[in-house]
Structure formats: structure tokens, C-alpha cells
Structure 1
Amino acid sequence: MPSLRTAFKLLFQTGPRPLALYALYRLGLKAGHYQRASARLLRFAGDETFPLFPLFPLPRREAILAILDARFLADLFGEADEIVEGKIRLFGGEPVPLQLSFSVHLQHWTAYASGQAPLPACSLQSADFPEIDPKFLWEPARFGWAFVLGRAYHLSGNEKYARAFWQYVEFFLESNPAYLGPHWMNGQETALRLMAFAWAAQVFAASPASTPNRMARLTQSIVQHALRIPLTLVYARAQDNNHLISEATALYTAGLLLPEHPQAARWRILGWRWLNWALQHQIGSYGEYIQHSTNYHRLMLHCALWANAIKQDSWPRATMEALRRASAWIFSLLDPVSGRTPNLGANDGALILPLAVSDFADYRPTVQAAARAFLKSGLSSGPWDEMSLWLGLPAPEQILEPEAYLADNLRGRQSWAYLRTTTFKSRLGHMDQLHLDLWWRGLNIAQDSGTYSYNAPFPWDNPLVTSRVHNTVTVDDREQMTRAGRFMTLDWFPAYAKTILETDERILQRLRAHYKTRRLQHERTVTVYADEHWLVADKLKVKDRAEHTFRLHWLLPDWEWTLDNTATDGRGAAFTLRLKSPQGDVTLRLFPDHRLSASACRLTIVRAGEVVYGQRTALPYEGWVSQTYAHKSPALSLALECLAREEITFLSEFRFSV
């Protein structure tokens, strides 16, 4: 229960609307409204069947085969075969058993949502997750793996993929009756499953395994899913994030898929209304999504691309403009070599439209499809075009590279960086103002730590949201903002950036950013030079004369390293770290403020929660990076801490050599 002070902050910083909507949702749970309404929905759903209207034309097999060579086809069929054998790649990781049922008696979904019944145990959780994490329960039941089976079936015609889909669907529906169990407690989970069912019903329609009885049962389940979503749309509106986007998309889908159902018009109108409202209100003026996360940005674009592919209505101008901004924003963050983006903000491992043979972290399929749909441009052709083909998107009118879109990015010849500045208007994902992501030849040199888990016990109770694990400067171990819960951060402040015009021909680009709070000013200037080296200058000033601990942090890849702390030059003493990367050596030199004595500063390196250089007590979550949910790997956490009064300057220099 939040304190009175926190409650007042929450009210004034988020506004009364989301709190009122959430209170209305909780009242419905407490009063038993949703349980009574579910009983009425079951009677309304009945046993009557309705024809499914085709939503999209299937792509030509020849067009897909033209962009996928033998290696990519082997990857697709290999993953599909794993699914046939009962294994899925959870959150883009290694194959794990496909779990769609529970070994306990299922109660009405409200019992789990209200906390009256504990969530059933999940065999997919490792020892790192002793508490039940609903994401492990929900992810397999989103049926995202059905897209892999469907794509493999479409290209090969092998009936084993269709048979596997129907066997899993029948098992799921038998094991999870409508509105009973955890798989029905969340409107978004219901929505994503509805979309997967709608897609698979069309892709597998011609298979002998798609018998009339099976199609009728699937249609009945889609109706039950569609009836469930409006019941708690108030919760999605309270969240005002990806929940509202996905649930609105699913309602619109149901309205088009089942045009003869009595509720079809209502679903279509309701879904289209809230989808457009959400896209117009949740995409900022610079194109960044409201959750300040690249992965949730991708989820939002997947919903928009799905709706764009099936829509029978024209996008309002305001929606189209928002989607153009959102597409340009993610395009500008694409690393042209690896296809990855900075792992900004919360990352829950979602990939709701796996319509291409690619790694979880590869954003090229999404960027290509979004650019074709909303920007009339795109990347050069490649295997990432498969998603565009499934969505019926034509080849782009012009080929562009990520640097074509203006953003707070700096670009060298083989390297680039993103300096994090934003204005928060809703609950932020990470406290990462003035974080710097640096890339060279497809390698993420200075990286974001990711998320790892929302629901693990201490110390892994979502600690990677904190400022101290990002590539920025903190003071006295204090966070930039106030963390008021696992998913709640308060006392937001904006940061601003501007390009500095230089006449020095040695300088390719210079960007200066800053923020100011009641007690602190932080200015960060990032410069990229023509010889491909980078200089990051941090200037901090506090508003009192007391002594403070200033901590500069860089999260680096887990490569072989050496350290020299004896070097000096005209800028004073320096700590020099050399890393051996797959592309050549990377050198990072840190220069403390020259006005400070040597004893005022200390350098430490932490790897996987253990100090490997220097002396201090490491926090368990330091020296880790998480590329996707529930997966983490070692990294090098380099921290330079200095004691100073009033103000301090740090210099960080990155150089690359082959």
C-alpha cells in the first residue's frame, strides 16, 4: 500500500483519470460484477457458429522463397519442427516445453486477478524465479508460435504443421474452458490469442486437418475471446499503454472476422475507436511510444501493422501522422549492421507477430514493414521482407538508411550513438535520462542493461530500471527519480538535447544534452570525430557546498580486457581500459576532474555481481545485461566514483582499432 505522500504524488503526476478508471476496475472485481457478467457471456456465446470472413490474402509462396535462402528456410522449418515436438522458444530463448495446461482445478479468472486464488505453478520457471511469474504462464498461451507453424505450412504444405496446430488448440480449449483460469484473467492475453487464432484459421483453412468441427470449435472460442475483452476494457484504459492498443486491435479484428455475429458491429466500432484514440494519444510528438521502450514500441507497431493489413476503414489523418512519426523514430534507432536497436526501457520479451526468420532482437522485419506501410520508404531487400509480404505491403518507393531520419543520434563512419533525452508524460519504464548507447560495426559497445524480470524476488525485483546500471552519472547513490513500486516511478523530469554546430573540420558531429532538478544540473556533451573516436564530457553541479559522491558508469560487453591506471596526458591522469572485441580493439579512457587529488577517485569493475577490479561491495544485479525477458548474461560494469564539492567534470574517450 503506497504512503499518503506517494498517493498524492501519484494523483498529481499521473492525473485523476487513470486512477479513477483503475478504481472502477477494482470495484468490479470486489463486487463480483465480472464473474456475473461472464456467466451471461457464456449464455450469449451459445453453440451457434458463424462464418469466418477472410481478413487478408496469403502471400505467394514464390515471393517468400525468393528472399529466403536454404539457411533461413532451415531455421524456419527447424523451429516449426521443435513446436511439433512440443517445444517453443520462450521470449526468443532456447527451446522449452510447451505448457498449455495446469495440474490444479481452475477457478474463475477473477479469483486470480483479485488475489483470492494463487497462480498455478509453472514448470518453465527456473530456480531464479521461486515466485510465480505470470509471464511464464501467459507467453505460451499467446499462441505466437502458431505463426511459425503457419509459415512453415504455407511454404511446405507439410500437413504435420497443421495437425500440430489443431492438436494444441484442442488441448488448450479443453484444458482452459472459457473464463476459467489464469489465461482469461488479462484482456491483453485474450486479445493476442484471438489475433493468433484469426490468422491461423485462415492459413490452415485448406488443410484436411481443418475439419468443420474443428473450425466451428475455433470460431466459438474466438467469439468467447471477443466477448471477454470489452468486459475489462476499463483496465486497459486505466493503463493507457500496450494493453489498450492490443485489446482494441483484437476487437476490431473480431468485428471484421465475424461480420454476421450480432456483436460484430459493436466490436468493430469499439475497437476502431480506441485503437485510433490510443495511437493518437500514446505516440509522442517525436514519435516515441508512451512506454519509452523499444520493445513496447515494436509491439505497438505490430498491432498497427496488423490493423493496417485487415482494415476496412481509412486511418484518420492524426493517426497516420502519429504512425509516420513512430515509424521514423524506430527507423532512426536501427543499427544498420546487426538489425538491432538500443534495448531502451522495459523489455518483456514480447514478439507478437513473428512473421520473419530473424532473431528476437532483430528489428529489421518491423522497421521494413512500418516504413513501407506508413513512410512509403524502406530498407534494401532481404530476408526481413517476409513480414511485409505477409502483411501485403508493396516494395518501397525509395530505399533509405537509418541516418536519413533526424533524431538525437550521432553518426561516425562505422559507429553511431544514441543520447537518451525525453519528456515523460506517463509512467516511464527506466530511469535513463542522458544514458548513452554506443555502437561500432554492429557491436553494442556501451549498452543498456535491459530488464530481465518484472516479478522475481529481491534483489532481482526489476532492479535494472535504476539509473546506476545505465550509462550516465549518479550522485550519492540516488536515483534520478523516485521508484515507488515495481512498475511505478514518480518525480519525472525532462531532458533536452541540441546539436552544436562546429567549424572544426576534425569534428563530424556534436550533441549537447542536459537536465535540471531542484538539487542537480547535469550536462552531457557527446562528440564524434572524423578519425572515429568519441568524447563524452559530463559536467555536474549540485546546489550545496557539501561533499558528494559522483559516479560515472559504463556497461560494456563481457570481452577480454586489460586496465592501465598509470597513464597521463594533457588532460591529467587517466584510467585506460582495453577490450578485445570480435571486430578489433576498443579502448576506453576515463579522465577524472583534474582539480581532484588521486585519492578522491576510485575505479571498480563488476562482472556478474562480483568485483573483478578495485575494492567495494557489489550489488548482485551489477555487471549483467539482459537482451530478453528472463535471460541474463555477464557484462562489465565500469564505475568511476569521485568525491567532490559543488561541481565536477568527467571525460570518457572511446577509440576503435582493427
Structure 2
Amino acid sequence: MGIRYVSYRVVLLITKKLGLLKNKFPTKPKQSTFITLADWKDTKAKFLIESREKLNFPKTPNKKLKEETLRILNGEICFFSYDWKNIGLDYNWITNPDTNYEYDIHLHWTDIPDFKKENGDIKYVWEKSRFAFLLKIIRFDYHFEQDNSEFVFTQIESWIDKNPINQGPNWVCSQEISLRTFNWLYALYFYQNSNALTEERFQKIMYVIYWSLQHVYNHINFSRIAVRNNHAITETLFLAISQNLFPFFNESRKWSEIGTKYFEQEIDYQIYKDGTFLQFSMNYHRVVVQLLTFGIALKEIHNQKFSKVVYDKAYKSVQFLFECMQDENGFLPNYGANDGALFFPLNEYDFRNYKPQLNTLHKLLTNENLIVNDDVYDDENWFLSNIKFENNYVPLKRTYGIFSFDFGGYYLARKQNSFTFIRCGKHKDRPSHADNLHLDVWVKGENVLLDSGSYKYNTSEKNSNYFTGTSGHNTVSLNHASQMLKGSRFIWFYWSQAQKAMWQETENEYVFEGIISAFQYLNPKTIHKRKVTVSKNEELWNVVDEVSFANTDSMQQNWHYNSDKIQFHTIELQNDIESYNSSYYGLKEKGEGISFSFNKNITTQIKYVEE
């Protein structure tokens, strides 16, 4: 992880032990009035949307939006974009509904353990406190001409009353603090003329937003150095827009200047030259796509721009994700860490459908829609309704053939009816899963050879080793071990590294060849070579694996599949294996898996056969 990371971690641990970190985050700061509600209404800065009375995009009520909103109004919350739980209207905001563990709200946030077995996954506590559910209610009120502003502000006020500044689990994560404010802003602007937005409530909200910005600013180096992923992008963006939206906070100019500088640095560093993303995760890359849309649109409303690299990397991101997307359903490979995050849920599509988010950023950058489908445009309405389009990037179009994203390590082959995805990466940043040379295959929008997913971050060692390890992916294991040595939480040691990766095209085939160094903790010389031949004329894949310098003869070629139309042919010994799929965070389902034992090399033919 480097000297910078280690040095910061050591200093952070010392300051935490000595109580110096806690001193930067007061728990009972002095009450202040920054601006009155009346003055804010008169002088408020422009946001992504106007008040509900001024919005004029088409109203398109749909049945699913109504059904899901009514569930929220009756005390249910959708966890991780798929799992509805009835936690009641009197929820205390600090109880994990998965384990019923209740956090101590009196503890300073620095004393809250976020990963502890008896607590369960803290993400279950954070989910409602993210307030993404407000967007569902706001959209329902607009499209169905209803008014649930009292419910919305009652929920916000309840959170404020039950989560004192810098106390309890909901002040642990600066990203969660930032997202909460983003979603509160939608409510403030949409319902600004509602009687439910009283002076008292407005003052409470502004007070918490001010101390939220203070918190994020005072802890920004944690995300920039110790974490450095989408957390850093979210938090630096929060600081970057502070002067645009909160000029009445004395420190907003300072916060904004440093936030803008850091945001531009993080985008430049985290999104590689080919548009791939340092977290090696499709869903976290989509998180960044939405943050880029939010940030670029807001700045442009204020006649400001980030540096050009932000726009270039945003465009490249859309390009890469679009190349990985299935036209039939908008799905991408369930590749890399996936915690169910969708910061701004502005449609009723399946969580794994990326069309609305990619279309919105594409429209912002090119002034043209990427997707020709009216159903995806509600995202666009809630991000871009105030935009005058001035960017002129070339609109993207679907093409076929082979694609190489060498910086990120992704190799794709797209035919009319099938899509092949191969991972072969050289890691300069922390890897997510031990999955080098994983092969994902889609036929007519169906994921027939698939990645097992992520399941949960705080789970049993067995589950963690499976879902993040090599055995949960379509690649080779040695004696059932992973390519890298698992450390604690999100850490891997002995990172696997690509030594060669390339496509070649012949008259009838696309041929990929990749070589990685892996299993270095077992033998530093171990090499895994994989050759994948994709037929142009039929749905047929030929996979040759060769392992050199291994300290074992026990080698396994693992496959996880999702269709009875898939046929495997090899001369090697076949074993049925335990296979589990996690299509959504927190969901674990029995899947279909097969493994072939071999010594040194193996050739396997995989065929998709129509009934």
C-alpha cells in the first residue's frame, strides 16, 4: 500500500489512542443561525431542480413508483436496492434490522466499532440514514401530484433529534454524511414552499449540514489516503460544491477550494486513462458515474467547470461501462465488490440495469441520449432539468468486435448474440477480488457463465473467502487456494499481476491470450496462462489453462454457470462443487458449479446449445 498509506495509518492510530482525533469532532457544538428560511428562499443558490411548482418536465405516473412509495410511507425500506424490510415508522435509526443489534448513541463516533461480529454489517444501519428513499417520495409527489412533505421533514427531523452531532454509528462514515446531505437537498429545494418546512426545521437542517461539512473536511485525509476509492470522490465533491450551495457558511470558500482541488485529483487518479476504475468493480464505477453527473451538472448550473480531465474521464467511464453493458436488459457483469449502492435511485428499473445512469451522464457530455427508451429519462429530468448543454463529446454508438482496456485489465468480445468478458489486470491499486483471468459469458442478455458476486462485507470467513476468493470465479485454483493471500477485511497480500494480455483476430475466431503471476505466497515463480478462443460462427468457447512452477499437482478449473444450455467438454476429471450466487448485496442463493481437476494444463470446450 506504500509509505504514504502506512505512515498515515500509524499517525491516525496514535491520535485516536491519545484522544486527539476525538477533539476535532465536538459532540455539543454551539447552536448557530446561518441564514433564515425567508432569506434562503430569496437568495438561494441554484440546484439541480427547482421547486415543485416550477418543474415542468412530463409527469409520467407508473404503478411500481406508487406501490414502492406507499411501502415507504407505511414503514418499509428497500435495503441495498432489492430487499424490502418493514422497520416501522418509529425506527430509532441505530438498530441493525438484520441482527437487531442496537448501537450506543452516546458513544463518540470514533469509539463505534464498524466491523464487529455481534454488531453485524453496519451497512444495514446506514442504509435508511442515507435518505435515498426521499427521492422515491419526491418523484411520487411530482408525478402523482401528491404532497408528502410533512412525512419527509418529519423523517429528517427525527434523524436529527436521534443522532446528535458526531455521536453514534451514523457519524462514522464521511461518505454517508455527504450522501445524506445530497438527498436532503433534493427535499429542501422540491418542498421549499411547503408549510411543512418551518423555520425551526430549516434551522435544524442547516445546523446539521454545517457540522456535516466540518466533519468531512476534518477527516478528508482518511478517505484520500487510507481508503482512496469512491468514498474520497463523494466527500471531496461534497466540499467542492459547498460554496455554490452554502455561501452563508463562513468556511465554504475554503472548503470548496480544497474540495475542488482534491475532487479533480481523485477523478484523475482513480479513473484510469482507458476509463476503467481503480476499485475494479462495476457497481462502484456506476456510483462514480452518478457523482460525476451530480457534480458536473451542479457546477455548470453555476457557470463553472471542473478541469478538463474530469470531463474526459467521465466520458471514458461511460464508454467503458457501455461496452460492458447488455443491450437487452442494461446488465453488466456482477464483477468486483458490489454493496448494492445506488446513491440516487431515480427510476423503477432493476438495480443491475445501468441504462438510466449511463444515459444521463452521456446526455450531459454529448447532448444526445445513449439509450432510445423513454423509460430511462426520469433520471435525466432530476439531474439535468436546469442544464444548458454546452459539452460536445462525440455520442457513443454500439459496435461489435474485440476491445482491450489495458490499464484496467479488461478484454471484451462482442458478437450479435453474445458477449465475452475477461479480466487480466496488473494491479497498481488494491485489488478487490482474487479473480484474475476470470471469464464471464453472456448470450442474448443472459449471464450464462457468471461471477458469484460479493454477498456481505461483514460475514463468516467461509463466505468471505468464497465470494471474494478465486473459487467464486471462473478461473483456476491451486489446491482450492486463492490466487492471493487473504488478509483482514478488504486486504489481499501477494497481488496477482498480469504479464501479458492481448487479443488476436482470425477469419473465424477471436483469440485472447493472457499470462499472470499468481499464488506467489505458495511459490514466487508460479505462472498461470489462459487462452480463450471465441468462435465467430457459433456460441462456442475453447479455454486452455496452463500452470507452471506450482508446488502442487492439485489444480482446479472452476466454472459457475446459470443455464442448462451450457455444455462443458474436457478429458479431465469432473467434480460438482458448491456454487453460490449473490446477485444483490446480502442475498445468497444456491447456484450451479462444476470443477475439472488437472495437472499442469487443461483444455475445455464450452458450448451454448439452443433447445
> What is the TM-score of this pair, normalised by structure 1?
0.81
Amino acid at match of 1:270: I
Amino acid at match of 1:317: K
The whole-number CA distance in structure 2 between the counterparts of 1:310 and 1:166 is 24
Q: Does 1:483 align with 2:486?
A: yes
Q: Does 1:390 align with 2:401?
A: no
Q: How many residues align?
A: 571
The whole-number CA distance in structure 1 between the counterparts of 2:401 and 2:138 is 35
Question: Any unmatched runs of 5+ in structure 1?
Answer: 1-13, 120-128, 560-578, 580-585, 593-600, 607-621
Q: Which residue does the alignment assign to 1:310?
A: 298
The whole-number CA distance in structure 2 between the counterparts of 1:388 and 1:101 is 31
Q: Does 1:221 align with 2:208?
A: yes
Q: Structure 2 residue aligned with 1:556, among 558, 561, 570?
A: 561
Cα shift at 1:294: 0.6
- CA 1:217–1:630 in structure 2 vs 1: closer, same or farther (change >3 Å)? same
Q: Which residue does the alignment assign to 1:500?
A: 504
Q: After the TM superposition, which residues 49-448 of structure 1 pair with which residues of structure 2 at under 5 Å, given as runs?
A: 49=35, 51=40, 52-58=44-50, 63-65=57-59, 68=60, 73-98=62-87, 99-102=91-94, 106-113=105-112, 115=113, 131-159=119-147, 161-238=148-225, 239-311=227-299, 312=302, 313-374=304-365, 378-392=370-384, 398=395, 400-401=397-398, 403=400, 406-407=403-404, 408-448=411-451
The whole-number CA distance in structure 2 between the counterparts of 1:322 and 1:76 is 33
The whole-number CA distance in structure 2 between the counterparts of 1:425 and 1:118 is 26
Q: After the TM superposition, which residues 458-607 of structure 1 pair with which residues of structure 2 at under 5 Å, given as runs?
A: 458-461=461-464, 463-495=466-498, 496-503=500-507, 506-507=508-509, 509-517=510-518, 518-543=524-549, 548-557=553-562, 579=564, 586-592=565-571, 601-606=572-577
The whole-number CA distance in structure 2 between the counterparts of 1:320 and 1:498 is 28
Contact 1:112 1:118 in 2 (8 A): no
Q: Which residue does the alignment assign to 2:11?
A: 24
Amino acid at match of 2:26: A
Contact 2:561 2:592 in 1 (8 A): yes
SS of 2:461's equivalent in the other structure is coil
> What is the TM-score of this pair, normalised by structure 2?
0.87
- CA 1:403–1:216 in structure 2 vs 1: closer, same or farther (change >3 Å)? farther
Contact 1:456 1:462 in 2 (8 A): no
Amino acid at match of 1:349: G
- What is the CA deviation profile of residues 81-139 of structure 1, one whole-angstrom value per residue up to 9, with x for unaligned ones? 111111111001232134443466522433534x4x998xxxxxxxxx85421111111
Cα shift at 1:78: 1.4
Amino acid at match of 2:373: S
The whole-number CA distance in structure 2 between the counterparts of 1:354 and 1:263 is 31
Amino acid at match of 2:331: R
- CA 1:297–1:547 in structure 2 vs 1: closer, same or farther (change >3 Å)? closer
- CA 1:271–1:358 in structure 2 vs 1: closer, same or farther (change >3 Å)? same
Amino acid at match of 1:217: K
RMSD between superposed Cα atoms in Å: 2.5
The whole-number CA distance in structure 2 between the counterparts of 1:432 and 1:206 is 52
The farther-off stretch of 452-461 and 422-431 is 452-461
Identity fraction in percent: 20
The farther-off stretch of 204-213 and 254-263 is 204-213
Question: Any unmatched runs of 5+ in structure 2?
Answer: 95-101, 405-410, 519-523
Contact 2:130 2:176 in 1 (8 A): yes
Contact 2:224 2:232 in 1 (8 A): yes
- CA 1:108–1:40 in structure 2 vs 1: closer, same or farther (change >3 Å)? closer
The whole-number CA distance in structure 2 between the counterparts of 1:118 and 1:448 is 25
Cα shift at 1:477: 2.1
SS of 1:430's equivalent in the other structure is coil
